[in-house]
Structure formats: structure tokens, C-alpha cells
Structure 1
């Protein structure tokens, strides 16, 4: 068996993509990883497509210099606006993140699902293409979660402001009789406990984490890039703002380092 010890690379507009990172390293415990938190430029969801692509190029080239063998674009907005460009420009395999509309559409009983995502994701051509195939049979209610990412990046995950904002977005969705809520931003899984308190137990909350981890394993296997060693994996997480919020989400250990760095 070919053993490839090079790290898996991840990048996001901030700390939210660690929700994806956690799923991947849980499924692939032998894999080393490097994570970029571009918190200085968060949120990507309010930027133009050109700005998003340029940020994705910067992040990708940082990870390639670190010899990453595969890159997970752990950001819905970056994926929906830049993944095609990145795949054309670079030879490394990319894993993208898209709102998990399909499982919601296949399981809904009310034929109405909600999607909470950023403006950049909901207004992208890739999202429109993906969602359009399901709109014939179900109603998709879209809500832009403006301000949620900023609060998480500012360390206000459990704040009163967050509760008020979540209620303002989720209450209209509940009135539409949704029975599934798709989280279309990798920051949002950290809000699941608070979302659950608002929507109750009858709403199916869906995010992309487990599916992305399975796809990452599949692509590594396909291209013979798996690290089959049983050594303890090493993880380095870079952030270009204060480390405080990232340290609240990630347990820093001997093998998991958080580094504040300009990039």
C-alpha cells in the first residue's frame, strides 16, 4: 500500500470550517492536517465573486506550499463561487461544501424545507443549479443568516444577540411549515443546540459534515493518497486574527497546534 503522509488542507472564511475539519479527522485519524482560518476577511458571504475567488487563490497557494495532498474548501460560499475555478487552475484534488438539499428533499413530509445560508451561497449560480432540480417537487424557503458568522467570529456564540438574531430568522421558517432545516454555512453547526431550542425536536437539522468526511476518504482512496500509518496525526491550525475564538472551539494539544499568522 502507498503511504502518503502529506497533510490534508482545509480553508474557510473563519473558524466555522472546523466543524468540517472535526468530522474529517474523526473519520481519518491517521491523516495529518493543516487548517486556515481566514478570519481577517470573514465573512465571505458579503463579498463579490471576484473577491471570493482571489481569497480562495491566496488560501490554496498557502496550503500547496505546505505540501497538502488534497484541499477541502470548508466554506459553502467559497465552494459555490470558486470551486470550478480552483479545479481548473490547480491539479490537487478539491472537496467542496454545498448545502445538503438532497437529503432534506428526500425526507420531507411537508414538502417544505428551509435553508439558512449566507448571501454569497444563496445567490451563487452553483447553488441555483443544485437547488433547481428539487424545486419541482418541494418548496425551498431561503433565509440569509446575516450577522451570524460575525457573532461567532467575535466569540459571541452564546450571546443574547445571537439568540435574538436566530429567532428572527427561524420563526418565519417555522410559520412556513418546514420539517427540515439545511445549514448552508460551516459556521452554523456550532449553533445547533440553540437552533434546537427554538425549533423543537420535530425539525430535521441537516449539515454537510459527515458527507464531506466520507467524500474526502473516497477521493483519497481513489487517488491512492491515504496515510495508512498508525502514528499519531499532527494538526496545525493557522488563523490571521486572535487565537481566542479558535481555542474555544478546538482543544490545543501536543499534536494539535493553533498558530496566529499573517497570510
Structure 2
């Protein structure tokens, strides 16, 4: 089945580009449209009702662009809103959830850490998943301030290093051997995180798994594109400078109020 309509991807800001990149690398023929709701970032401190409303606004924008499937490239939006999105829209949604399962199943110390937003760690979906691994100690840490620093372009600032050290040192002391990144912004922090963590601690994010699930949805439900050299589109509702930088200035970024 051939379907040349685009894949829509949205996040509360620029972090979901880590998910977009995994999808683009796996499915290079697919047209993609990325939506960064940076004006309302971070979602992690908002109520469930606010997150659902913002997610629906993003979906409406992407549906106007004739997207054939939509990737919710935001852990907080997935855990708080994807059930409502699937109920209200007749289109396949792919979500992003913290990769607790592979971390817990492979942990030798039976202690894993998760760095995520408050909205993700407080969600029903996260807690149901965590309950499945009661033999594993899960050290939870809210990444207060991290998303905003990334959105502001302060990836390598002293403040970022200080925050990461304060969040990760207790996990190291607790003898974790896996760190789960529970926010799509956080893969951009992996170089700094690796400087803090001992070498034996594995870092897991969800990008490749989401890309594979997107591929499955195309195969089973909506169809693949047979177009060549599709150029991705990027939209942001705040200053586009940081998004352009995170994309290495390879693509145009359109600033648009939505």
C-alpha cells in the first residue's frame, strides 16, 4: 500500500527532534512534519487537562497538513493524553514511554534509575508500568529545569552540569546499572550524562523503538511513501533559533503561531 502523505511528529518543544531523527534515519523516503510547541514548554509541570488540550491543538494542526499518522514525541503528552487522542481522532498514534521494561529485564543489580518530568512520573500509565517490575528498585528523579535549559539553548552551561550532578549522584550511590531517559529532550544531554556516570551504567532512550513502531504502523495500517528526497518541514511557535541549531542548520524552520 502506497501513501505519500506525511508523518506528523509533535513535542512540547525541540526535544522530540531526537525521536524525529530516529524516524527519519529508519524511513528516509517518508515526508515528515515536526511541530514544536515551545511556547508552552515544558509540559511536565502542567495539569493533565492542560496537556490534553495542548496535545489536541497540535494534532489539529498536523491533521490540517494531511498527516497519515502522528507520533507523540513527548513522554508527558503520551502518558497523559494519548488515550484521549486515540478516542477522539480516527488516525493511528504512536506514543513514547520510558523504557523501563528493557532496563528492568537486563539489570544485574535490580536497581534502575529514571530521569523524567513530573507529569510522566505522576501519570497512571507510568505507575502501571512500574508496578509490573516489583522485584526491581526504580529510583525516580524529576528533571526540574532541564527542559527549559535545553529550550533556551543552554545545553552545555554550568547550571546544566550542576543540575545533572545533583540528580544523578543519588542514583549512582543507589547502585543503578541502567538509566532510563524518560523525556524526549534528554537524549541531547547524553554527552554530559556520560561524563558523570560510571562507565558500567547503561543509558536507554526510546528513539529507535518509536521509529520501529512507526514503521510497523505504516506497514500494517496506513502505507509507505514511494517518494524520493522528501524534505522535512519544521514548525515552531517561538524563537526558531534553538531549533535551527539543534538541527545543525540543515533545514528551514518556520515560525508560526498555533
Shared fold (TM-score, shorter chain, > 0.5)? yes
- Does residue 1:239 correspond to 2:236, yes or no? yes
Give 1:133 deviation, angstroms: 0.4
The answer for the alignment partner of 1:69 in structure 2 is: 68
Normalised to the residue count of structure 1, the TM-score between the two structures is 0.97
Unaligned runs of 5+ in 2: none
2:153 to 155, 159, 166: 155
Alignment partner of 1:223: what SS?
helix
Aligned to 2:96, the other structure's residue is in SS state coil
- 1:227 and 2:192 aligned: no
Q: Deviations over 1:46-96 (max 9, x none)?
A: 000000000001000000000000000000000000000000000110000
Alignment of 1:258 onto 2:258: no
Task: State the SS of the aligned residue for 1:36.
Answer: strand
Root-mean-square deviation (Å): 0.8
- 2: CA distance, partners of 1:84 / 1:234: 31
Quick check: 1:200 aligned with 2:198? yes
- The answer to whether the 8 Å contact 2:69/2:222 transfers is no
1:225, distance to aligned residue in structure 2 (A): 1.6
| Post-superposition offset of 1:130 | 1.1
Distance (whole Å) between structure 2 residues aligned to residue 133 and residue 56 of structure 1: 28
Return the alpha-carbon distance in structure 1 between the equivalents of residues 32 and 70 of structure 2: 10
Q: Structure 1: where are the runs of 5+ without partners? A: none
Q: Which of 151, 162, 187 is the equivalent residue of 1:189?
A: 187
Contact persistence 2:244–2:252 (CA under 8 A)? no
- In structure 2, C-alpha distance between the alignment counterparts of 1:12 and 1:190, rounded to whole Å: 14
4+ residue runs over 6 A deviation: none
Matches within 5 A, 1:82-161: 82-134=81-133, 136-161=134-159
Deviation at 1:224, TM superposition (A): 4.0
TM-fit CA distance, 1:252: 3.9
How many residues get paired?
Answer: 258
1:47 paired with 2:46, answer yes
